[in-house]
């Protein structure tokens, strides 16, 4: 599991970006979250897994840290 912080949300289109603690930026889609996407505001600390996609690494199983 990786950890990081939600950098940007594009709520109306259902995706966002996470800045990982490793300094990388990861795309994520609402379908790859384990939380209520519409409840996210940005800046939350999260944990996630990385999967490969045609457009590069993508965050999946995104969960807000308690």
Report the C-alpha gap between 31 and 38 in whole angstroms. Answer: 12
What CATH class is the domain 2-64? mainly beta
**Residue 10 Cα distances to 15, 18, 22, 38, angstroms:** 5, 12, 23, 10
pLDDT value, residue 23: 95
Average pLDDT over residues 38-64: 93
Domain ranges of the chain: 2-64
Average pLDDT over residues 4-10: 96
Average pLDDT, the chain: 94
Average pLDDT over residues 50-56: 91
pLDDT value, residue 66: 75
pLDDT band at 51 (very low <50, low <70, confident <90, very high): very high
């Amino acid at each position: 599991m990786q950890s990081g912080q939600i950098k940007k949300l594009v709520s109306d289109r259902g995706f966002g970006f996470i800045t990982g603690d490793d300094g990388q930026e990861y795309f994520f889609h609402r379908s790859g979250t384990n939380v209520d996407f519409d409840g996210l505001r940005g800046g939350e600390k999260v944990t996630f897994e990385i999967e490969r996609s045609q457009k590069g690494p993508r965050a999946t199983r995104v969960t807000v840290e308690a």
